[in-house]
Structure 1
């Protein structure tokens, strides 16, 4: 009799332990699935955060997202019973969200810095996550997490249709206001688009107005402070609007200061004052936004925490199925791109020991702007000759995101910022070297009374051909699809630049290019 009781007790203990483990998994299952959804997004966004200083705040977003979810579990609505109709709607949300994620994932992998892919994939993740939580706790409870999902968008690039006109308008307005204010100090200044001209030279928007690009960080900070202070929505929107205004005004002050110093000290003042002015601007902006948030938070009531945070449960089999779908989508995508990884061509480099072409250091500021993975530089001059030459090869061999700079920075963008005026775009110059036909775009500039010929090529190493640099090719659907179809997740680009200064003849400059390319340019 006692032996039978012992067996019954042992079976009961084992069953209780198994039931406890099952209950713990059922409680954790929905959050494991939601975490898997967001992990697929954040793993790819790290490329953008690493490539762009303006997006570096994105590294803080995943941790803040977890914190916001925990706080809303502690202080928000409790999960409720889910009706059959609500469960069907939640299941449909999960299906739609995951379908979007699976469809967009290859595009996102191939084009990680494409804002459209980032936003559509994030929308799919948010819809699928909301569906999972509505399935286990009802729609009212799942709505409690809308703000964390929205906050995640602060880590994304703004859509091009928003960012480009906004940045252009702000930069031009900044330049116009700066020119007027600096002129009032006794230093005549004229705004020419995004460039400010003073007596000492030109101050480019990339140098003086780059703080405008920090708007996204201020945008994120304002929403963060509004959530931490438990502000009502009207006050949160007001805080964000004031934060943006503060960022624009502090950047204007920084631009005025830098331009004023250039007018008084010369172009070298940019290097001396750029970092200090940027640091002061950042501190003042953050302090002002924090002060506004503190003022808005006075009188706001903090929601009382729930003594025992709710733990909704979910059938483990459903979680396993969704995790399996995520794993298949991720594994299939990575396998496709890994299969094509080694199909690309060979990179370009400058020969290391060529008489008359000593090594030239790459300016640190140039490296910061271009984010090239490696680069070569050479200089050329001849005794008794006023002509001077430069040759550069910048290589992007890793992330697609940073290689976007290879397409954005061509001579028509960079040279005016250095005070050079474009006189003519010449016919392309085609050079045969290293078994390849390399077409160079040719430009003639004038700076301080001296003629400068600039020859420029962006080379697609994967395809072993010249890469398109026009904006329309960069955003075209066909270009994005080609990267997916070819399994291209790496950059595989090279920017080849030759500059000849002091040669008035276009024909002589082109002949010089053909000779020097044959001597210098090599395949790695």
Structure 2
């Protein structure tokens, strides 16, 4: 089986070489997607961590479903080549891998490997129109949110477009400062954490859902701190923080906010108690009260 998977892996690498080269080029040249180099490595790590659940179970149902997924991947590649939609070709790698796992290992193998296959989707950059729309909205949210915080702490701040005017200067929330780069990495990290953490399903879903508001909040705090420094220590230090130090601190801040959220949840909600344990404790308490009354 190992030789079969090795041969299949080499064939996939040869077949997708053009798409993988395109992805590597974008990861290297576009800072928003530089995390793509680590995505395949993390997928392999997920497979290793979940190796205890790996087992083979062949069946006609899984073979048919796997063949359908493989054909769907081929159709996606054909559409990508015909309409020159480059990003669709690497995306087709996900249904292809899922189909191969179903054909060669059955449903139990797919249950073991699907988180790693799903995570590979984060190595594909967002289409330009989606990335541009998100960046524009994040710029606007960052500008409005930061102005609100600055005004709340008593500092004069006015938003004009994506520019924040202060008494000591102005802050331009340009596309590079929209927070999209950090948000891409943070969402991928939250999805990976949701798979690895031993938490109830609803908490893991909440981790993924809260990635977007937490990432936005971290960027708003970054811009707000820059505005405060503009008014207190001067433009030189503020520019240095805005473009250098604060950018590096955004991810630790977002992780801290996520950790705080999980800590609060663990304190607010208690794990369910088994009925047998609960009945035993009630019976024990009743017997002790009976002995005391005697």
Larger Rg: 1
Match of residue 286 from structure 2: none
Question: What SS does the aligned partner of 1:117 have?
Answer: coil
1:178 aligns with 2:178: no
Three-state SS of the structure 1 residue aligned to 2:126 is coil
Structure 1 residues 93, 185: closer, same or farther in 2, change over 3 A?
Answer: closer
Provide, for residues 275-317 of structure 1, a one-character-per-residue CA deviation record: whole Å limited to 9, x for no partner.
Answer: 22223333222333355567779999xxxxxxxxxxxxxxxxx
Structure 1 contact 222–240 (Cα < 8 Å) conserved = yes
> What is the match of residue 252 of structure 2?
283
Distance in 2 separating the partners of 1:90 and 1:240: 28
Task: Summarize deviations over 1:313-372 as a string: whole Å, max 9, x none.
Answer: xxxxxxxxxxxxxxxxxxxxxxxxxxxxxxxxxxxxxxxxxxxxxxxxxxxxxxxxxxxx
Aligned pair partner of 1:47 in 19, 22, 25: 25
- TM-score, normalization: structure 2? 0.75
Residue 163 of structure 2 corresponds to which residue in structure 1?
195
Q: Distance in 1 between matches of 2:18 and 2:112?
A: 23
Between structures 1 and 2, the one with greater strand share: 1
- For residues 86 and 139 of structure 2, the distance between their equivalents in structure 1, rounded to whole angstroms, comes to 27
Structure 1 spans left out of the alignment, 5+ residues: 1-22, 109-115, 301-524
Alpha-carbon spacing, 1:178–1:86, altered in 2? closer, same or farther (3 Å): closer
Matched, 1:96 2:96: no
Picking from 95, 102, 108, the partner of 1:127 is 95
Q: 1:75 corresponds to which residue?
A: 52
Alignment gaps of 5+ in structure 2: 272-294
Q: Judging changes above 3 Å, is the alpha-carbon distance between structure 1 residues 235 and 66 closer, same or farther for their aligned structure 2 residues?
A: same
Distance in structure 1 (CA, Å) of the matches to 2:176 and 2:17: 37
User: Within 1, Cα distance between the matches of 2:157 and 2:186?
Assistant: 29
Please provide the CA RMSD for this pair: 3.4
Q: CA 1:129–1:39 in 2, change beyond 3 Å: closer, same or farther?
A: farther
Report the number of matched residues: 268
Contact 1:130/1:143 (8 A) holds in 2:
no
> Where do residues 350-361 of structure 1 align in structure 2 (5 Å cutoff)?
none
Deviation digits for residues 423-463 of structure 1 (CA, Å, limit 9, x no counterpart): xxxxxxxxxxxxxxxxxxxxxxxxxxxxxxxxxxxxxxxxx
Q: Secondary structure at the match of 1:191?
A: strand
C-alpha distance 175-42 of structure 1, shift in aligned 2 (>3 A): same
Are 2:158 and 2:164, in contact at CA under 8 Å, matched by a contact in 1? yes
